Amino acid sequence: MHTKSAKTVVIDSFGGPEVLRVEERPVGEPGPGEIRIRHEACGLNFIDVYQRTGLYPQQLPAALGREAAGVVEAVGEGVTHLQAGDRAAYASGVSGAYCEACVLPASQVCPLPDGISFEEGAAMMLKGLTVNYLFGRTVPIARGDTVLFHAAAGGVGLIACQWARDEGINLIATAGTDEKCALAKEHGATHVINYQTEDFVARVKELTGGKGVDVVMDSVGADTFEGSLDCLKGLGMMISFGNASGKVPPFDLGILAAKGSLKITRPTLFGHIADHETCQKMAQELFAKVLSGAVKIRIDQRFPLTEVAEAHRTLEARKTTGATILTV
């Protein structure tokens, strides 16, 4: 099959959800190292919002979206891990996944096992691979260690709760409503904190006997940064991996010394999956967790591709739980 053209979501300027528009774009042949894929579903992530607003600048006009799943239609020269007809899913360093079909580099596209649906594939690649590097590739985390995880009822958070439970890690989860806290608890969080009604720093100190946690995983950014540092025990690691509430402002490195020789890192998924072999291995580890039942991919919101603006509004209003997908 050859998809000649595809509905594609693009922006001509940075701004609110109203700048998103759908246009018909031609879909060509894959070149060396590329594939053409026809999507069944696309994933929605906060990085898409950052790119739409210009927080993460890119050249305009720009196609958005970093995550999708579908069927490979054609492969270019040199691609050996995929062939036409294969089910596949990906989180890509290249934007443009909000579409019916596209040509993209094959390196980060992964064969999708038959036991995982296209919708799950579209909802889990960026989020699940993020959880993989947070728990397995950033700092050593051992069974019995304690991790504080913010925004634990979102797409990344619910996977993280289950991953921690499976690895024997104590996870203290924060969320903004009692319902979201209950969801995190149901998915494996050891303790939950509603940060709207409780002082999360004081509660973390109470839960850890005043010691603090080994690691904080914070995708919220500006609103939680200082409190997150205060939750760490001496020599603890702060992983700042997102900025849903805004970018973390510049700070004095001496604060890390004063608070107990703390460590801090600001990783991105795309740094971890830039290498083809590493990406494929991480995907296999993620698929194994899902196929074993240790991690279930929860999709709580579905929007047609043409209603992408409404999907963005819902995500930004923090009205979502679990993952959100665009259906094609």
Alpha carbons 29 and 71: distance in angstroms, whole number: 15
Mean pLDDT of the chain: 96
3 state DSSP class of 191: strand
Q: Is the pLDDT of residue 1 over 80?
A: no
User: What is the percent of the chain where pLDDT is above 70?
Assistant: 100
Average pLDDT over residues 292-311: 96
Average pLDDT over residues 208-224: 95
Q: Are 5-127+270-327 and 139-266 equal in CATH topology?
A: no
Average pLDDT over residues 50-76: 95
The pLDDT value recorded for residue 288 is: 98
Structure tokens that stand for 297 in this block? 């991919």
Average pLDDT over residues 96-114: 98
Query: Residue 261 class from Cβ within 10 Å (0-12 exposed, 13-18 middle, 19+ buried)?
Result: exposed
Average pLDDT over residues 225-242: 96
Please report the DSSP string for 121-171 in residue order.
Answer: HHHHHHHHHHHHHHHHSSS---TT-EEEESSTTBHHHHHHHHHHHHHT-EE
Domain boundaries, the chain: 5-127+270-327, 139-266
State the architecture of 139-266 in CATH terms.
3-Layer(aba) Sandwich (3.40)
The yes or no reply on domain 5-127+270-327 and CATH 3.40.50.720 is no
pTM: 0.94
Average pLDDT over residues 184-196: 97
Q: Is the pLDDT of residue 99 over 90?
A: yes
Vertex 20: Cα angle to 11 and 51 (nearest 5)? 60
The pLDDT value recorded for residue 222 is: 87
Alpha carbons 7 and 98: distance in angstroms, whole number: 9
The pLDDT value recorded for residue 259 is: 96
What is the helix (H) or strand (E) element at residue 227, kind and residue range?
helix 225-230
Residue 244: pLDDT band with limits 50, 70, 90: confident
107-155: pLDDT as tens digits = 999 999 999 999 999 999 999 999 999 999 999 999 999 999 999 999 9
Residue 324: pLDDT band with limits 50, 70, 90: very high
Query: Residue 277 class from Cβ within 10 Å (0-12 exposed, 13-18 middle, 19+ buried)?
Result: exposed
Average pLDDT over residues 178-199: 97
3 state DSSP class of 99: strand
The pLDDT value recorded for residue 234 is: 97
Helix 155-167 vs helix 276-292: angle between axes, to the nearest 10 degrees? Answer: 80
Average pLDDT over residues 12-29: 96
Average pLDDT over residues 187-198: 97
Q: Is the pLDDT of residue 27 over 90?
A: yes
Identify which of 78, 76, 80, 62 has the alpha carbon closest to the alpha carbon of residue 25.
62
Average pLDDT over residues 164-181: 97
